Structure 1
Amino acid sequence: MALAVLVALSACARVDPGEARPIPGLDSGCDAAMVLLFDVSASMQATDVTPDRLTAARQASKSFADRLPKETRLGLVEFAGTTTELVAPTTDRDIFKAGLDHLEMNERTGTGAGIFTALSSIRNLPAAGPPARPARIVLLSDGKQTVPESLDDPRGAYTAAREANRANVHISSIALGTDHGVVDLPNPGRPSSRVSVSVDQDSLREISRLTGGSFYAAVSLDELNKAFDDLTCHR
């Protein structure tokens, strides 16, 4: 498929730090803004994560919003074959959570387009003044990019990640799901087709590595909450 370790899946979410490097001018405090890039492709219907990948992801994302420092701006972008900014980065958590309630599933996975949209959301924020505080994209997905075919395409995920890196924006990725996920896809006038939707960790890990972000693998709501907790600035 397609809001992906050198570690095996276990009873808790595992973190794989990216190749982080010092960024001149950025303080070491909490992120000034974060954009949750949420995969809404059809594979998120898989029930290998209870009750299903999408519902678990939505629930954990709401809890994540409540735990962030109140001054951190949080935005929401959904992506599948198309991408939409549902919520521009804001400190209003009710608006963010309302956006999560309006996620719409779609076909295909355009991870690169999603990253570019999330990056635009961050770039459109008013300048905070020097020294600039960091911003982060949290990529929540269960599979690899399907459009365009190449991750290095001008609109591909690796290309987008390199652009984020040039903008000093980290991408932390959470791969949600197992190797045993399946979904039943409708066929008009015919029985539905059962399709395997194994989680793809490799491309998501590489996206994070390219930007100095962290990578997490989660196969349950509890593991997903632990991954989000690790991304939360605790003061």
Structure 2
Amino acid sequence: MPRRSWMRSASAALTAGVAMIVSACGQEISGAPLPAAAGPAVCDTVVMFVLDVSLSMEATDVPPTRLAVARQAAQEFANRQPAQTDLGLATFAGTAQLHVTPTTNRSAFTTALDAVKLSERTATGEGIYTALAAIAALSQVVPVDGPQRIILLSDGKQTQPADLDAPRGAYTAAREAQSKNIPISTISLGTAHGVVDVPDHSTSVRVPVPTDPDSLREIARLSGGDFHSATTLPELSAALAELTCSA
């Protein structure tokens, strides 16, 4: 059976499989815009895009907001992927959610991306575990040959649980990704000067929301992936271009 037909018929099984599964040295890249930057020579077979949707993504230090810039760059990234690459989408705030199982249907990815909503807290580890579960579910339905990758786009430090080495923490999840040979490419989006206005009775309180590149750098290192940083849309687009297959 052709692979795409197989994928379409397997979509329900993938979603069910994910629901069941969910219960080295990193390379640092600046993310600065580069002319005609070449992506990896070998195309990833599966890419899970994991997006932070915590309230700090409302910050305007990356105008118009961190989330708006992340959406635009992610949509461009999806449209540049080779037709044969399966691309999925997960988000995380206090919990993680799988929006799109890995698929060659780019419109499913972009439609889901447009619909994501912000929420409280940051459970980075859950986002990684959800991505790993989605890839594992895919491999149970169709053969997955070739490199697999998680792209983690976030602006801040994990807050739930507080310990990144906890059983569901980001560092623990990164080590599991490394054991499965699935590197995590992390991208820190934002600046040290970001703020958000949090409602407080009849007024609001301005709360600093600086980025936390150190934890994202460590996630990349532990998983065998690479770390990028971006403070503008062009920088984020350049970072994602570094992760786009040049074939």
- TM, length-normalised to structure 1: 0.87
- CA deviations on 1:134-184 (whole Å, 9 max, x unpaired) are 110000000000000100000100000001111110100000000000000
Provide the residue aligned with 2:45 in structure 1. Answer: 32
Matched, 1:203 2:243: no
Q: Matched residues in 2 for 1:120 and 1:173: separation? A: 18
Equivalence for 1:90: 103
Q: Taking structure 1 as reference, are residues 161 and 110 closer, same or farther at Cα in structure 2, changes over 3 Å only?
A: same
Matched, 1:182 2:220: no
Q: Which amino acid aligns with 1:82?
A: T
Corresponding residue for residue 186 of structure 2: 173
Query: What's the CA shift for 1:31?
Result: 0.7
User: What stretches of structure 1 move > 4 A for 4+ residues in a row?
Assistant: 6-10, 127-130
- Cα deviation, 1:183-227, whole Å, max 9, x if unaligned, reads 00112x331110000010000000000111110010000000000
Deviation of the 1:121 alpha carbon: 0.6
Q: Does 1:78 align with 2:86?
A: no
Partner Cα separation in structure 2 for residue 139 and residue 81 of structure 1: 16
Over the residues paired in the alignment, what is the CA RMSD in angstroms? 2.1
Matching of residues 77-226 of structure 1 within 5 Å: 77-126=90-139, 129=143, 132-187=145-200, 189-226=201-238
**Distance in 2, Cα, partners of 1:216 & 1:155:** 24
Aligned to 1:48: 61
Question: Hey, what's the Cα distance between the residues in 1 that align with 2:177 and 2:184?
Answer: 8
Q: In 2, distance between residues paired with 1:7 and 1:166?
A: 21
Equivalent position amino acid for 1:196 in 2: P
Structure-2 residue corresponding to 1:19: none
CA offsets 1:53-90 (integer angstroms, 9 cap, x no match): 00000000000001110100000001000110001011
Contact 1:77–1:117 (Cα < 8 Å) also in 2:
yes
Structure-2 separation of matches of 1:44 and 1:223: 17
Percent identical residues? 52
The whole-number CA distance in structure 2 between the counterparts of 1:129 and 1:44 is 36
| AA in 1 matched with 2:168 | R
**Partners of 1:199 and 1:39 in 2: CA distance:** 12
> Comparing both structures, which one devotes a greater share of its residues to helix?
2
Aligned residues between the structures: 215
Determine the C-alpha separation between the residues in 2 that align with 1:184 and 1:129.
47
Cα distance in 2 for partners of 1:186, 1:71 equals 45
For 2:7, the equivalent position in structure 1 comes to none
CA–CA distance in 1 between the matches of 2:52 and 2:33?
A: 19
**How far off its partner does 1:104 sit?**
1.1
Gapped regions of structure 1 (runs ≥ 5): 1-5, 15-27
